[in-house]
A = this chain, B = another copy of it.
Amino acid sequence: MERVLLSHGGGGTMMEKLIEEVFAKAFNNEYIDAMEDAALILGNLTFTTDSFTVKPLFFPGGDIGKLAVCGTVNDASMRGAKPLFLTSAFIIEEGFSLEELRKIVESMEDTAKKAGVKIVAGDTKVVEKGSVDKVFINTSGIGMVYEGANVSIKNARPGDVVLISGTIGDHGMAIMSAREELQFDPPILSDVSPLNKMIEKLMTLGKAVKVLRDPTRGGVAEVLYEISKMSGVGIKIYEDKLPVKESVKSACDLMGFDFLHLANEGKLIAVVDRKYAEEALEIMKSDKYGKDAAIIGEVNDSKLVTINTVYGTSRIIDRPIGELLPRIC
């Protein structure tokens, strides 16, 4: 009998297959588009959902509550929309500490306030001990598309420029280090952050901003592949332009990970019209969460996703297949 595997949740080709063959096939309507971060409804609203099962619940730089708010705030943002309202639904294991629950809920509200969104409705389920691992949270969100915005995973064109808003792989490595009790000096903190204010400023560039995407599960590599596939283009990035913390880079070398596959929770990849690339970079750099932003590559007509290495060679980037690390979000 066919079974669901951990790799089906890993944000790579296995997950794409599961979504296409099971979910998108059944929920087949004019609104659903398995490859976009948000559905567009009622003209100019975005509607998204995301469940969070991160382990541990509290990790360096954040916690499941902060992650649950940022994740849904960022999903709306990546369609060129201003996130407005969130719901929050908790599934709690019997016996879970009420004090930890309060901490998580307060972290959600604190993050929502900072992002300028409101949590307007909720649901609470409690299940018997052993039926869920501590607490899982779902957040769903409504956003409003900015006037004049036209952001879609399908809009990249040869000649466009690819930017990233900061260092790569921080969240994935922070979770890994928390779970494996690895010590780094300085400690590696998750980048979990709400990106909606950066996007609000970016959207002043209007249609010059073509694609926005947050490289969560599957990392930067997966996002580049999705853009390539859905826009029907190739992408070349430059290794020497990629912002990566030294600590993350050494940890990756040590453990044999490719930082391009590590999850981020406070970064965005933008594909921008070449004429506006420098302006977009300046906007990112002026934002609290974008000071390490960089232009990292460009769109071409090759249909390949490649990297020019620091050794002067060029290679195809591996697309993630399955699960590098389960439950990073």
What residues of chain A have their CB less than 8 Å away from a CB belonging to chain B? 1-10, 15, 18-19, 22-23, 26-29, 31-32, 34, 38-39, 41-42, 45, 47-53, 84-85, 87-99, 101-102, 105-106, 108-109, 112, 118-128, 130-133, 136, 138, 140, 142, 323, 326-327
Q: How far is the CA of A119 from the CA of B23 in the complex (A)?
A: 10
Q: Closest CB-CB distance, A42 to chain B, in whole Å? A: 8
Contact call B140/A9, Cβ cutoff below 8 A: no
Q: How far is the CA of A225 from the CA of B128 in the complex (A)?
A: 27
List of B residues within 8 angstroms of A98 by Cβ: 1-4, 22
Known: A95-B4, A105-B23. A120 touches B39 (CB 8 A): yes
Contact call A121/B39, Cβ cutoff below 8 A: yes
Contact call A8/B99, Cβ cutoff below 8 A: no
Contact call A138/B101, Cβ cutoff below 8 A: no
Known: A51-B138, A89-B49, A123-B51. A101 touches B6 (CB 8 A): no
Contact call A49/B140, Cβ cutoff below 8 A: yes
Q: Closest CB-CB distance, A51 to chain B, in whole Å? A: 4
Contact call B121/A47, Cβ cutoff below 8 A: yes
Known: A9-B126, A127-B327. A120 touches B41 (CB 8 A): yes
